[in-house]
Amino acid sequence: MSATIIDGKAYAAALRIRIAAGVADFAEATGRRPGLAVVLVGEDPASSVYVRSKGKATEAAGMIGIEHRLPADTSQADLLALVAALNTDATIDGILVQLPLPEPIDEAAVIQAIDPDKDVDGFHPVNAGRLATGLPGFVPCTPLGCLMLLKDTLGDLAGRDAVVIGRSNIVGKPMAALLTQASCTVTVAHSRSRDLPGIVGRADIVVAAVGRAKMVKGDWLKPGATVIDVGINRTEAGLVGDVDFDAALAVAGAITPVPGGVGPMTIAVLLRNTLVSAARRDGHPLDAASL
Question: Among all residues, which ones are annotated catalytic?
Answer: 54, 98, 121
Phi first, then psi, for residue 113 (nearest 5°) are -80, -20
Q: Find the angle CA(140)-CA(143)-CA(175) to the nearest 5 degrees.
A: 105
Sheet of 35-41: strand order equals 64-70, 35-41, 94-97
Q: How far apart are CA 271 and CA 267, in angstroms?
A: 6
Pairing between β-strand 226-229 and β-strand 254-255 as defined by DSSP bridges:
parallel
Q: How far apart are CA 172 and CA 186, in angstroms?
A: 11
150-157: which pairs have CB atoms within 8 A and are 24 or more residues apart?
Answer: 150/205, 150/226, 150/228, 151/182, 152/6, 152/11, 153/4, 153/6, 153/226, 153/254, 154/205, 154/226, 154/254, 157/182, 157/183, 157/184, 157/205
Query: What is the three-class DSSP state of 259?
Result: coil
Q: How far apart are CA 95 and CA 123, in angstroms?
A: 11
E strand or H helix at 38, and its extent? Answer: strand 35-41
Query: What is the three-class DSSP state of 239?
Result: strand
